[in-house]
Amino acid sequence: MPQTMTSADLRTRNQVRLLRAVHDAVEPFTRAEAARLLGIGRNTAAALVGELERARLLHEVPAEPGGRGRPTTLLVPHPEGPVAFAVDLREDTWTLASAGLGGGATELESGEHDRTPAVFAEIREAVARHGGERLAVLGLATSGPIRDGHRLHVSHLGWDEVELDDLIGADWPRTVVDNDARLAGLAEARRGALRGTGTAMHFHIDFDIGGTLLLGGDAQRGAHRIAGEFGHMPLTGSPLACMCGVRGCWSLDVGANALVRRFGGTPGHGAGRELAQEVLRRAEAGDAEAGAALDENAAALGRGLGALANALDPEAISLSGLGVELIRLRREVIEAHCAEGLMAFRRDEPPRITAGTVGAAGPLTGAAEIAWDVILSPEWVRERL
């Protein structure tokens, strides 16, 4: 496991550091600022940028003068530089987007699908339509755990152990895949509400609840890359059996399925999202029963967050999906029950609970991030020159 050794590796390393700084920056910065940021000399910065410009990875544009001093250049993505494609594969739709250095994604195409793995061929064709020389890596977000990075398991589509290696063949560009909830969390950590946190958590609340632990801007993946099933811990004392095969899961009390069940429906089939939206509408309009349902959902959410905060000590927790509405309408309920679940000695410093700012674009943004993580690696950059 060699990390770095030769002087050439040192150069590559500094090039990657520079590219990563550009990618992660909120605002573009100048070459001189880059030198200060990386702690290198102006001469070295000039050499690095020159090589990256020649490799069509960075581009320099004149910066408007901002005070005294010789005018300098802004470091921006190269117009002919590599791009990452990102795919968000949902229950019955898919979206393809393109993202350059810096992360800004533009949607290219989207479509519906028939809930069979044939959608992968459809996506492959869309990628071929839009992908040119500049396409470097494809990041794909799907729901459901992906064991060891290739065995996909989406229960609500009836996909059981779908073999991704068979569906994503040699005619695909270099492709990296991950779970949508985890990628939504990664997006928040890199470009959203969790930016800058050392330890944080993100939860996506849809039919049920899934999430990820974010450490230093990266998502914890686990030994088989199926970490994040926080919704399948018994955090709320439910006596019910969950579809996952366990009894008492947190997800039984949080999310659209819990709302469906409360109003007498059978979870797991179809119209849960519409019902959830309707409950939200009615609760906002003052309907007592809908309000009570929301209270229960928010209370169960908060109770679980408190328990998880005891164990993992996050600085902040962001929510997406239904969670955004729950925060908007029932923040006090969530926070009160979170505090109740927190050990007494930590109640004066509870985790910040916040709505994600990347929103519904989370999985797509996260997929672009993991694709760019491949590009911004020493191996890839060295290959490119």
CB of 357 to a second copy, least distance (A): 19
Q: Which does 278 bind (CB under 5 to 8 A by kind): a second copy, DNA, none?
A: none
Of 74, 312, 329, 336, the residue at the interface with a second copy (CB under 8 A) is: 312
CB of 324 to a second copy, least distance (A): 22
Please report whether residue 58 would count as binding DNA according to CB under 7 A: no
Sign of CA dihedral 311, 312, 313, 317: negative
CA 153 to chain centre: 19
Nearest alpha-carbon partner for 109 in 123, 92, 90: 123
- Please identify, among the stretches 67-75, 87-95, 163-171, 182-190, the one whose residues bind DNA according to the rule CB under 7 A: 67-75
- Please identify, among the stretches 62-70, 142-150, 206-214, 367-375, the one whose residues bind DNA according to the rule CB under 7 A: 62-70
Letters for 131-170 (x = contact with a second copy by CB under 8 A, - = none) are --------------x-x-----x------x----------
Long-range CB contacts (< 8 A, 24+ apart) of 35-43? 38/14, 40/14
- Please identify, among the stretches 6-14, 205-213, 307-315, 344-352, the one whose residues bind DNA according to the rule CB under 7 A: 6-14
Tell me how far CA of residue 150 lies from CA of 174, 190, 226, 239, 254, in angstroms.
14, 24, 11, 34, 29
CB of 173 to a second copy, least distance (A): 27
Please report whether residue 69 would count as binding DNA according to CB under 7 A: yes
Please report whether residue 70 would count as binding DNA according to CB under 7 A: yes
Please report whether residue 45 would count as binding DNA according to CB under 7 A: yes
Encoding tokens for residue 188?
A: 């928040």
- Nearer to a second copy by Cβ, of 82 and 267: the residue is 267
Contacts of a second copy in 339-358 (CB under 8 A): 340-347, 349, 351
What is the rounded CA–CA span in Å between residue 256 and residue 277? 9
Q: Which does 11 bind (CB under 5 to 8 A by kind): a second copy, DNA, none?
A: DNA
Contacts of a second copy in 62-91 (CB under 8 A): none
Of 1, 3, 5, 239, the residue at the interface with DNA (CB under 7 A) is: 5
| Count of residues touching DNA (by CB under 7 A) | 30
| Count of residues touching a second copy (by CB under 8 A) | 64
Strand 73-77 and strand 58-62: pairing?
antiparallel
Of 29, 94, 120, 230, the residue at the interface with a second copy (CB under 8 A) is: 230
- Please identify, among the stretches 59-67, 238-246, 252-260, 355-363, the one whose residues bind a second copy according to the rule CB under 8 A: 238-246
Please report whether residue 315 would count as binding a second copy according to CB under 8 A: yes
Length, in residues, of the chain: 385
Q: Which does 306 bind (CB under 5 to 8 A by kind): DNA, a second copy, none?
A: a second copy
Please report whether residue 37 would count as binding DNA according to CB under 7 A: no
- Nearer to DNA by Cβ, of 8 and 128: the residue is 8
Contacts of a second copy in 38-57 (CB under 8 A): 38-40
- Please identify, among the stretches 70-78, 79-87, 167-175, 221-229, the one whose residues bind a second copy according to the rule CB under 8 A: 221-229
CB of 22 to a second copy, least distance (A): 15
